[in-house]
Chains A and B, each alone.
Chain A
Amino acid sequence: MPENLTRREFIKDLGKLGAAASLAPMVALGEQSSDKSVGLKRPSFIKEVDKPTTEIDWDLMERMSERERTCRRSFVKYVGQDRLDKLTEIRNQNTDKWLKEDKPGYTLKDVAIKSGSGSGYMSQSYLGPQSAKTPEKLGVAKYSGSPEEALQILQSAMRHFGAATVGVVELDAHTEKLIYSQDPDGKYMQILDVDEPLETDDTRVIPKKARWVITYTVQMSQETLNLAPTILGSQTTTLTYRRARNIQNRTQEFLRGLGYMGLGEASTNATGIAPAFGVMAGLGELSRYNRLLTPEYGSMVRVFKIITDLPLAPTKPIDAGLLEFCKRCLKCADHCPSKALSFDTEPTWKTQGEWNNPGHKAFFEDSVKCRNYWYEVGTNCGICFAVCPFASQNLASWSKFRNYMTATVPGFDKTLVSIDDLLYTPYTEFGKPQKDPEEWWKLNLPDYGIDTYQSVRGNS
């Protein structure tokens, strides 16, 4: 008697058949797509390079303490308690006065939207939510794609979560120096030969096997940051940091779901030096305002990192002509109300203060002057981000022409700056926003005030 298939076996076999049938085109497709390079899709005039455009002397570099050295955490050390108290008083008086005067950008609705932008986010942590079902729990093997495939799915997932560009830096004896020795909350960051990450009252341990630093940007709203240094202008930064927390949590869960660890920033600006990782991952170049300048969004991004043990194909640094452009453009330095930015024609090894990490050639900024101004205006300013010629929405094909010329004909840079002045940045009184904040409320801006097609369109 022939054996009959039970209904269950029948369905199972049917599934196998279906899988075999659907596998054929997938294999063919797989062969095609494996020829394509993974990583960021960019126009060919943006060159991948072995060494970043910023010169680095790794022997001079040491891991730095975020807590002890940056102006964010140690401002009082640089200015003294009396000065800080005075500045806090000035800030409170100014913002209170401007609120009551209904000063554009500081009105009740501007303060209210800032409160809204600053809320509604997941809390962030080093180890992440730890709630995704692991492959072990699901009874399957952990993800085992090649480093290139892993990067591809990671980029897709993270862009789906809201990241703009995603790159990877592999940790080695050099790049480990970009990890803070101490996080903003004072915990020491140790890289040890252990199997699992660990967090105690005073330490965070990064297992040596977690070699890959996922570095990603999150877009800010260019139209909104045009209103810097007002409260309305600054809240796009607030919103971006909150969105980044959600992206971090989701990525940590995604990695856990694949069977790997995702060690996130325990607080704002934790783990490592963001612009440095951005440069090494090829997300952009170091600029005159000493932050990451990207080919896709210019200055309109914030940079974040997550460390993982999922083997990922590292992305290479780039040369899009941006640092060269900065040598000939002074817009951010010119417009900076506190004159905190460098006016030098070339980057230098000489730092401005302890808040800068030596070991690379840069246009180092005077962070103390910058912070002083932040207290004066009651926000984190952002004028230098807003006036940059690359802070544009790139809908006008002029922007493509500008990017092409920047990457290929440095001799044209000064002309591009003059044209940008004429088109976009009529010189305003110092500290005044470039556009009328009251008009912002009448605009029909896209979700989050950003154009999520910007990088896709830029590469088409």
Chain B
Amino acid sequence: MSVIFWLILGALVAVGFAYVVKNWKLTWYEWVLAILGVLLILWSVQNYSASQLEHEFRAATYFLVMLGVPGLILAAIGLVLPAMRAKKG
């Protein structure tokens, strides 16, 4: 995958985290879950796109499911609760 794609993705993640730091208050375990979740999502994106290049379409789908879904769940748990707290507060 091109360098430019990763630069854009990296910038988006950085902006996202900057927003979270500024506006929400995360407990330490929410930070752990959010970071783990985002890392898993990024790993699944890399493996998915590389597997497409390798013509391993079955593997590509599995990477999305096996890494992407748990990543989304972890990130959601880590970010949804503080988002709700911020809304209430």
Q: What A residues does B46 contact at CB under 8 A?
A: 396-397
A427 interfacial by beta-carbon distance below 8 Å:
no
A contacts with B, residue count (CB < 8 A): 12
Cβ A223 vs Cβ B63 within 8 A: no
Instruction: Say which residue of B47, B53, B58, B63 sits within 8 Å of A426 (CB atoms).
Output: B58
A395 and B49 alpha carbons, distance in the complex (Å): 9
Number of B residues, CB within 8 Å of A: 13
Asked if A396 contacts B58 (CB within 8 A), the reply is no
Which chain A positions have C-beta within 8 A of B50?
395-397
Mark B40-76 against chain A: 1 for CB-CB distance below 8 A, else 0: 0001001100110111101100110000000000000
| Dominant secondary structure of chain B at its interface with chain A | helix
A398 touching B55 in the complex, CB below 8 Å, given contacts A422-B62, A423-B62: no
Contact B54 A395 (CB under 8 A): yes
**Is the beta-carbon distance between A397 and B58 smaller than 8 angstroms?**
no
Across-interface contacts of B55 in A (CB, < 8 A): 223, 443
A392 to B47: give the CA distance in the assembly, Å.
13
Known: A422-B62, A423-B62. A398 touches B56 (CB 8 A): no
A290 within 8 A of B: no
A392 and B62 contact, Cβ closer than 8 Å, known pairs A397-B43, A397-B46, A397-B47? no
In the bound assembly, the distance between CA atoms of A392 and B46 in angstroms comes to 16
Tell me how far the C-beta of B51 lies from the nearest C-beta in chain A, rounded to whole angstroms.
5
> Which chain A positions have C-beta within 8 A of B62?
422-423
Q: Which of A392, A398, A422, A443 gathers the greatest number of chain B CB atoms within 10 Å?
A: A398
Partner of B63, one of A392, A393, A396, A443: A396
Q: Mark A413-452, 1 if CB is under 8 A from B, else 0.
A: 0000000001110100000000000000001000000000
Q: A423 touches which one: B43, B53, B56 (CB < 8 A)?
A: B56
A443 neighbours in B (Cβ, 8 Å)? 55
**A→B interface (CB under 8 Å):** 223, 392-393, 395-398, 422-424, 426, 443
What 7 additional pairs, Cβ within 8 angstroms, besides A396-B51, A423-B58? A395-B51, A396-B46, A396-B54, A397-B46, A422-B62, A423-B59, A423-B62
Instruction: Sample 15 A-B pairs with CB under 8 A, ordered by A number.
Output: A223-B54, A395-B50, A395-B53, A395-B54, A396-B51, A396-B54, A396-B59, A397-B46, A398-B47, A398-B63, A423-B56, A423-B62, A423-B63, A424-B59, A443-B55
Binding site for A on B (CB under 8 A): 43, 46-47, 50-51, 53-56, 58-59, 62-63
